[in-house]
Amino acid sequence: MFRPEKDTLTGLLTRASFHEHAQGITGAGLAVVWFNLDNFKMFNKRFGFERGDDILREIALILGSTFPADRASLLARFSDDNFVVLTDWAMVEMNIDTVQEYLYSLHENVTLRLRAGIYFPSEGDDIRSSCDRAKLACDSIRKNHSVSSCMFHDGMSRELALQQYILDTLDTAITHEYISVLYQPIVRLPAGKICGAEALARWNDPEAGIISPGEFVPTLEQYREIHKLDVYAVKAVCRDYRARNEAGLPLVPVSVNLSRLDFELCDIIGEIESAVTAGNIPRHMVKIEITESVNDEDMTVLNLGIEKFRALGYEVWMDDFGSGYSSLNVLKDYNFDTVKFDMKFLHGFDINKSEKAKYIISSNLQMARLMGMQALAEGVETEEQLEYLRSIGFDKAQGYLFGKPMKLDEVFALKRGIETA
């Protein structure tokens, strides 16, 4: 007998109970709707988690009244601010509009946008894949604020298939080294000598061809498999380093990218310590890059991880500064040795025309200096940009002006000179 497990906050079904109960419900005339509340983490930061919980309970009540169980609707809270409804297809779009209008009416002074993705299952579709398709439709309008709902269409099928392919073949790609590690040079300013490199994963699959990091990294983060990639990349870096070291060749520090999820999904510090020890690498030669997209929920685990890395002798860098909403909070809450300024600061930058861009860059540089951090500008593409960065005192720079991602030996073949450690 089915005994549904309920979400303790909202009283709706949990993901597992929803899947179990909905698995046998098939046939035409059904719709799966995936709801997501935009920028909910920012709402929590602004108004507090207690008010955030109130919002989630309100949404559950609104969904319950709009998609009532006596009309064969099934509702669940999947995680955080994600809700799923299995319901009759009739008037589903009108009901979605009703939900949004009701939410607006309750919070006229706060912008709360509840996005919805819709999928109409065919005979034989399983509930998990139906939910995945509804979520994909919902995600497709994340940056389109002119619409609040979207139906899944065939054009989204490739993305869903690619996501599944990435998840299914990750272990094989790692075993057979279809995923390689390339290095993009980092130069010291003002001299322009190479003082380091960033390790970047590239996937060249024998069947799917080149899979871009913009496709495989978000997928692996979403499905909590990113630690496998990051551990593999660190081990590859340490092997490359050891080979050059044993050959008596020059070396520069290498930065490796970690996801905030690595600190939850594995013993990332232990993994890196093991690889560094095996490669006979001094810890100061390995820099740990962590993206800006950290949030309050991760604060304790991540903060402990950062401090342990620094106590062991590793530098920890903040990657992609300026790419998200929480740049200043992140700098306030975590201790970083270097801040990497996001390439979006420099995209299309013309020092003769863009006074705003100049002000943003210089003021943020001063802030980093006052907080005792070095500053690295990434995404440098022109000599004009480089000259300006030199003039205001950036420590380091990185970008296609100095070289694309390449093999480690090719970094040292560049005619820029090497700042040896």
pLDDT digits (tens, 9 = 90+) for 14-26: 999 999 888 766 6
The confidence score (pLDDT) of residue 27 equals 62
Q: Specify whether the CB–CB gap between 5 and 14 falls below 8 A.
A: yes
Show the tokens assigned to 359: 């002000």
pLDDT at 34 over 70: yes
The confidence score (pLDDT) of residue 48 equals 87
The confidence score (pLDDT) of residue 325 equals 46
pLDDT at 398 over 80: yes
The confidence score (pLDDT) of residue 88 equals 87
Collect all residues with Cβ–Cβ distance below 8 Å to 140 and sequence separation of at least 6.
117, 150, 156
Give pLDDT tens digits for 298-327. Answer: 577 888 999 999 999 999 999 877 655 446
CA 404 to chain centre: 22
User: Where does CATH 3.30.70.270 sit in the chain?
Assistant: 15-152
Helix H segments across 23-91? Answer: 40-47, 49-66
User: Where does CATH 3.20.20.450 sit in the chain?
Assistant: 162-413
Q: Which CATH architecture has domain 15-152?
A: 2-Layer Sandwich (3.30)
The mean per-residue pLDDT over the stretch 188-207 comes to: 95
Q: Residue 42: which pLDDT band, with cuts at 50, 70 and 90?
A: confident
- CATH number, span 162-413: 3.20.20.450
The confidence score (pLDDT) of residue 294 equals 47
SS3 assignment, position 348: coil
The mean per-residue pLDDT over the stretch 142-150 comes to: 82
CA angle 3, 4, 8 (to 5 degrees): 135
Q: Which of 57, 52, 38 is nearest to 138 (CA)?
A: 38
Q: Mean pLDDT in the chain?
A: 87
Q: Which of 105, 106, 143, 117 is nearest to 31 (CA)?
A: 117
The confidence score (pLDDT) of residue 196 equals 96
pLDDT at 13 over 80: yes
The confidence score (pLDDT) of residue 100 equals 86
Length of the chain: 421
Measured CA to CA, the distance from residue 335 to residue 318 in angstroms comes to 9
Query: Which range in 83-92, 102-111, 168-177, 384-393 is most confidently predicted, on average pLDDT?
Result: 168-177
Q: Which of 284, 349, 291, 280 is nearest to 324 (CA)?
A: 291
The confidence score (pLDDT) of residue 296 equals 45
Measured CA to CA, the distance from residue 395 to residue 363 in angstroms comes to 15
Higher pLDDT, 246 or 40: 246
Q: Which of 221, 131, 127 is nearest to 167 (CA)?
A: 221
Q: Residue 293: which pLDDT band, with cuts at 50, 70 and 90?
A: low
pLDDT at 115 over 80: yes
Give pLDDT tens digits for 322-373. Answer: 655 446 667 777 889 999 987 666 565 565 566 777 777 888 888 888 888 9
Q: Specify whether the CB–CB gap between 172 and 228 falls below 8 A.
A: no
The confidence score (pLDDT) of residue 292 equals 54
